[in-house]
Chain A
């Protein structure tokens, strides 16, 4: 499922195969490498991603989200008949996480939140995954932009663990 992590030039960061899920230490090391690389690239060559887009093909972006994701599984959310299920999801404060949204409707929808800054289009019957930045405790509203009166939900960020 996971593509091997890659550097900006498209070469593999670690020449070995991607570490197995259970193996915590090397995985963390790999994460660190990717994070440090991202920070370096972000600070020194802010336009480098354009080069990535145009020179080394379109399969490179995968490692970055993987690098930022927490080890936890993404929060699950689905849209059916323009309603979110569950209407309230809970996440811990102070750490990045992912939300996976399944569009079960035959129409496109846009998963959007002003409160935690997400705006992503979902094709009919598509599944998307969006990263969310570290949030302070509180309630954060989200909605479906194409059916804003029906598709409404709340992300509850709690101080403790999920």
Chain B
């Protein structure tokens, strides 16, 4: 029971960390609960469907269907995160300002909310199908006490959800002025990590060159198979033995987010610069 609890907990936590960060990052945008709930539901439905066709998907593309699918899902999530990131660079400050005044509304948040809803759905789709398959395996192998194992699985699910919620509460405890800076940085790292992992997956099936199988090895410091290692892997893209292409994709995505955000922010400032009229200038 404990083993199944741990397995499900780990998978749920991986998706849950993403959901927690997204929840904090959309703080103050109206209707966000409905949108993100829709993302969770769509992700869960997709995960069940995916588990049903896991065999077929795995056999597709000469046995590499799963890898291509995962890479496509991760890169789609990166695109959605990029969209949200640019939108926040444009509107983040107003959002933070209006958060302080109760009951205010931002109407332009719709498109960004949809992007974040998709990010949540994709995260759950990817991790959820593994949970569904695992639970199915328990039910199918009826020999060793499926009820206890299944209860353990459900316990893991609940525990994962609780920890994700705690993460969200921890994040929104950050003062409003800083909240979007923190969540923006977290989402940027998340996107860079996803891009790196997507390209590592593609390199594994040989679709892109690896550019070096193991650039460094920090397994002595923090191994990927520890809980902290997995959590850091989800949030920051940490891995103890990165490949060259993984680092490259990570760096490029990180740079694109930082530069893109800066440019968008600058454009925003230019558009909304207050027009100053100083009478002293007109005298001269």
Contact = CB atoms under 8 A, between A and B. Distances in A.
Contacts of B245: 42
Q: Which one of B199, B208, B240 has the highest number of Cβ atoms from chain A below 10 Å of its Cβ?
A: B208
B130 A121 contact: yes
A133 B140 contact: no
Nearest to A132: B204
A133 B210 contact: yes
B58 interface: yes
A64 to B, nearest CB: 4
Given A38-B206, A58-B60, A145-B7, A108 B241 contact: no
A118 B200 CA distance: 10
Contact of B208 (A38, A62, A123): A38
A146 B72 contact: no
A120 interface: yes
B62 A106 contact: no
A46 B199 contact: yes
A117 B204 contact: yes
A120 B207 contact: no
Contact of B54 (A39, A67, A123, A130): A123
B: contact size bracket: 35 or more
Contacts of A59: 61
Given A108-B54, A126-B58, A149-B3, A61 B223 contact: no
Contact of B207 (A38, A107, A126): A38
Contacts of B19: none
Given A110-B130, A121-B58, A136-B214, A53 B68 contact: yes
Contacts of A107: 136-137, 140-141
A148 interface: yes
B59 A126 contact: yes
A58 B61 contact: yes
Interface in B18-62: 54-55, 58-62
Q: Taking chain B's interface residues, is the majority helix, strand, or loop, or is none over half, making it mixed? A: helix
A106 B207 contact: no
A106 B58 contact: no
Given A38-B207, A42-B245, A61-B68, A123 B55 contact: yes
Nearest to A60: B61
A129 B206 CA distance: 13
Interface residues of A, number: 47
Contacts of A130: 204
B66 A49 contact: no
Interface in A113-152: 114, 117-118, 120-124, 126, 128-131, 133-136, 145-146, 148-149
Contacts of B225: 114
Given A38-B207, A50-B72, A123-B54, A61 B133 contact: no
B58 A61 contact: no
B130 A42 contact: no
15 contacts: A38-B207, A50-B72, A60-B61, A65-B63, A65-B206, A107-B141, A109-B137, A110-B133, A114-B240, A117-B200, A117-B204, A123-B58, A131-B205, A133-B203, A133-B213
Given A58-B60, A59-B61, 14 more contacts: A3-B62, A38-B208, A42-B208, A50-B72, A58-B61, A107-B140, A108-B133, A121-B133, A123-B54, A128-B58, A130-B204, A131-B205, A133-B243, A136-B214
Those 6 A-B pairs whose CB atoms lie nearest each other, nearest first: A123-B55, A68-B206, A42-B208, A61-B61, A133-B213, A107-B137
Interface of B: 3, 7, 54-55, 58-68, 71-72, 75, 129-130, 133-134, 136-137, 140-141, 199-200, 202-210, 213-214, 223-225, 239-241, 243, 245, 249
Interface of A: 3, 38-39, 41-43, 46-47, 49-50, 53, 58-62, 64-65, 67-68, 105-110, 114, 117-118, 120-124, 126, 128-131, 133-136, 145-146, 148-149
